[in-house]
Structure formats: structure tokens, C-alpha cells
Structure 1
Amino acid sequence: MTTAIQAVFIRSYEERTSPKSHIVYKIDVQAHVQSWQLWRRYSEFDDLHTELTKSTKSAPPCNIPPKHSFSMLRSRKDAKLLEERRAGLEEYLRAILGAKDSVWRDSQAFKEFLGIPVGRQGTLLQPSDPAQFTLSTWLDEHSELQARLRDVWSDINKRDALSDQGDIAASHKSNLAAKSKLAGVLARIGNLDKALQPLAMSGMSEGELQRRTDMVARLRDDCEKLTRIVTVARQAARAATAGPSYSAAENRVAAPESDRAALLGANTFARPARRVFGASSPPKETETTRPLDNTGLYSLQQQQITQQDDQLSQLTTILRRQRQLGEAVGAEVGLQIEMLDDLSNEVDRVGGKLSSTKQKLNKLS
């Protein structure tokens, strides 16, 4: 998929003499994790344009710069002409990448022209060797995996929505898609974890290493929770979440306010609502909970409970450490008091001896 391509630049060109004099343009391709460079002649751009028009039955959204008939007054070394052509070719590639219709950028001819490494599933190949990661590409890969996990959540929500509509086949297909994406993420997390050791040896600080280790651990935790969700049937998840009375509560419809007023009557003596100390406010929808169904809400609740338990465990460890420090300080203070008492007793004893010696000296004198 070329959607992984972030940007394309044509920043320079150069003249080559083999097999005969011609101009080639340097194309810089930037993806999520990878980036590469390649050189293309104007004639190759022209062939690409012809092939795209032929294979897709429609011309790309932008035309390539027109050909020029070179003469004695305007040669191939005309800097102004070459700069105009460079800018036009860059605009041509960017127009294809940014087009709303992906038919041109999804074509095999365009992928081969940009030298996109395509795997068996049609996706950009990611670095399989952990040593290939740099500090920046490691973070790019982490961001990409987070985006993949969000896609898994989207597939799970889609699965549940289709299940509610009774489309079992489509629901099963969405569940399989979520499992497939999750398996790919798990494999890439392993490479991300293995890459930390080479990065640490290359000079990464101990604090940064610990931070990235925690980031990998959080990814693994998210994958573990998603794995449990995608392997549980929709009906079982509902039963575990809402209990036996779920179906009855689901079909319950709240009475209109007009019917309630007609039945109960208007309360003319009602006092204006006031805030009661200690009373809980009604639950409100948030951006986090709005896209989730019951299963997602249950998983989010369990995740937050787990995080709170972890935080309480950390707080317990800190308090235990503070207690140990307090006991150590108390023992040290007690020891210092004993030493001061011993010193005071020794001073009193020496003072007594000095007084006795002074009396003896007075008698001798």
C-alpha cells in the first residue's frame, strides 16, 4: 500500500554521460519507518504517465512537464529549464500521492517506479533486523504500532455493530481482520524490544532505555487485552458484562416526559435543585467512551482498574520504603542519644576526678 508513503521530494538533478549525455532526477521517498532514494530520467516519467493512463483508463490528476525541442540556443544544460522540469515532476508525483482517488498510486507501475518494497500482503516491508533501527525510526515504528492497535479496536467495534445487525458473516470477517492485524503487531513488537539493546550500546541513556522499555511493555499489555477480546464471542462478552437481565434491559424504553408529567402531576412545591454534598454527579459521555460499546466499556473499565491497582502497588512500595527510612532514622537517633548519654556520664566522671585532684592540690599548698 502506498498510503505508507509520507512524502516525495525531487531536490536535485545531475548530468550523466553513460551511455550518452542525459539528465537524471534524484527522488527522495519517505515512509513511516523507511526512506530511500532513486534516480529517474524524464523519459521514465513519460513512460510512467503513459502506463498509468493506459492501465487505469484515465489520466493522472496532473500532467508531467512538456517535452522541449532543444536547439543551439536552449541546450540540455539550461538551468532554468531543468529547474522548471524538476519542480513540475515533483508536483506530478505529489499530485498522485495526494489524489482522492487511489487508483493511480495503487497501480503496480507506480509502485515499481518509486521502488516501493512490497511484501506478500501488499504492505511496506518493515525492518526485520533490530539493528536497523535508529533512535528516531524506533519512535516512528512505535507510533505505527499504536495506530495499528487503534485499527484493531475499530475492527472490533465494527464486528460488534455487524453482530447487532445480524450480519454474522461480515462480523466474522471483521473479527478475522482484527486477529490478523494483532498477530502482525505482536511480531513487530518483538523486533521493537530486541532493538533496544543495540540502541543502548550505541549510547542511549539509561533513563531513555527504561522509558522505551515501559513503552514496549504497555504495547504488550494492550495486545494481551485485545487478544482476549477478539477471541471471545460477542454473546459471551455481553453476558459477562451485563448479566442475565441484559436483553430485557436492552428492550426497555424510557417513558416520555409528557407521560410522566401526566401520571405524576406537576410538583408545584418542588424546590430548586441544589447541590448535595457527597452526592455523585450523573455519568457523562466522554471522547474516550463515546465510540465504545458495552464490551469496549468493560475492557476500558478493567484496564483502568488494572492501572489503579498498579499505581496503588507503586504507592505501597513507596510508603514501605518511607517507613523503612523512618525506622532507620529512628534507630540512628536512638544510637546518637545513647552516645550522648555516655558522653555526659564520662564528662561527669572526669569532672569528679578533677574536683578531687583540685582538693588534693589545695591541701599540698
Structure 2
Amino acid sequence: MYLFLSGRAFSGLAVEAGGGDPGRRPRHGAEIRLEEYWTPERCDLLHKSGCTAISVGFESGNQRILNLINKGTKVDRLQETIQMFSEAGIGVQIMGFTGFPTETVDDALSSVDFLQHNSRHWTFGGLGQFVLTKGAIIAKEPERFGILDIRPFEGEDIAWRLYYSEQKHLLANSSRCGSKELTQAKASLRANQFDRPWVGGVDTAHSMFYHDRFGNNILKVISGANHTAANESTILELNGHLIEEHYYLPVHKLFNKKNLDNILDTSEREGKAVTAQNITELLQQWEPDYSSYPQPKEQQLFVRRDGTLFPFPVPMIEFLRNFEHGLSLTELLQQSTQHEFHTQLWQHCITNRFLRLKRSPAAEA
């Protein structure tokens, strides 16, 4: 049994952990506050009660921003608390944001530095973008935070967020406007993570179960550093599936995540909603510049289990097809006249998680 609890229930559960058979005790996790309540002893008790992972909002690694948010804590105390959970064996999923009103690029980079400095004490998370919502103190006292023109986003049926503009003298160095340095720094924090709903998404079932199984070594498992190298007799199978249709253009370049990010950035700047209808209209109007593409080649697609799309030339697809029902390197080489090349390609497929250990039907079920 695995339980996900609210912050208010969490400390009480630790106190009530008590006895009982540890093997039958439910495992659990929750979103909690980084409060003065937590001590090494309480974190240890929490772990013994069955807690495998928590998620926390540190919000910012810059003290000025923490004071504006009225977080009620200090940067060094945040660091101590995160370390206490980690050393107790509890996985820490950590969340913060940039783009808070009056935050500069340098302020935002302080948050990146905080996470990098404490990287050994947290597993998943990173920095999102600040979103203003109704009822927030910032919306009620905009002059205190230097923001103007608060209104719902144009075209949104449910006004779950609010658009606002910042005073002109703050715009030049505002983290909300971003910078190449900040964008790259934030992206570097998620080098070993997948997106939701996979392991790596904060509070997803995948992440919780991986914490339960691998503890704080979870990043080593994901990166492959903890994997035993397959030997020549190991039966491997596809870690995904092949799409049979043939493609003659690099389909991953037709409309990609960068295009979508540009649409979202425009939405933020102009205060207009992003809807299925206007994305469809943009796609219909969009014309790719075929002249910028390399010479078209016949290719097929391999979709890894995490959803990543790989357009491969036909020879690579045919190599992968050998492993559809499970095959060892020894068996492959018995059919091959290119032993050295196929051995290197086999290792490449393992490194990039195109192949995995053959699973029994019972394990799949």
C-alpha cells in the first residue's frame, strides 16, 4: 500500500509511527512545508514510519525574494532541512520558480546556484515559472510588488491565472523576460529527468515507486550508472516499439517543442490564452522551409517507452527489429557478417535505452 498525504497529516503520522511489522507498514509520501519543526530525529522517525519521498517548495534561493514571498525562513535553513531529509534516506523532490515580480536575472541565478550546490540532497524537481493567481497577496497589493494592469488572460474560459505587466524601469533585467543564460541554467537542472507522467515528474506514481525501490540512488539508476552491463548471452528486447510507416522528411523537425515554447512565450507576453483552436490554426498556417532540411532519406520511427521519438534510417530499424521478441548478442552475431560493427551498435542501443532486459509475461502483466 502506498499513501500520499497532506502536509498537515504528515508530521502526525511520524509521531504515531510506533511499532508494528515494518514489512506490512504502508509506505507514504507527501507535499510538506520546510518548517522549523523538522529535526534529524524527526526525519529519521519519518523514514522509519515508511516515508520514501517528500516534495517541498523552497520557492527561491534568494533571500530578498523569500522575504517578499513572506516564506518565513532563511536560505541556509532551507539547505539544512533538505539535507536532514536526504540523510535520513527520504527522497526530496524540490520545487521553486523564477519570474517573481521584481526578481532580476541575477536573483534567479541564485536559485539555480542553490539547487546545484545542494544537488546531492534532492532527486527531482527544478525551477518553474511564477504564475499569478486570484487571491494571492501580490494580486491584492500590486503596487507593493511593482506590477500593473492585472487582468485575466484573454480567451480563457476559466481565469485560473492572471496577466500582469511590470514597471518599465524593471523590465531590462527582469527574470520574467528571461535570458539565454537563465534558460540554459534552468534546463541543466533536469538533465536526468523525464517529463510527467514518467519517473522524474514531481509526485507522479512512477517517481514515488522508484523512490521506494531505489531510495536516494534513483538518479544513478535512471542515468544507467547503476546498471549491470549486459553480456553476450543476455536476452534483450526492444524498450519501445517500431512504427511501420515510412517517412521521407525529418518529422521531428516539422513542429517541435521549441515551436510550442515560442507560442507559450507569446501568450505570456500578450496576455492571450493558448487554446486548441489557435494552435490548430497556427499549424494550418505554418509552412516548413524544406530547403533548410538535409536531403530527404527513407526512414522509419522508433518510439522509446518514455515517449521519445527517434527517426531512424531503415538499416537501424532492421537492426532493432531483431530484438522484437528477445535476442542475445551471441545469437545476433551467429547471423551476422559484421561482428565488430554490430557489437558496437548493440552497446549503443543499450546505452541509449533502445534495448532492455527481456521480461517474462508475468512481469509485463
User: Structure 1 length as normaliser, TM-score?
Assistant: 0.25
Q: Which has the higher contact order (CA 8 A, sep 6+)?
A: 2
User: Structure 2 length as normaliser, TM-score?
Assistant: 0.25
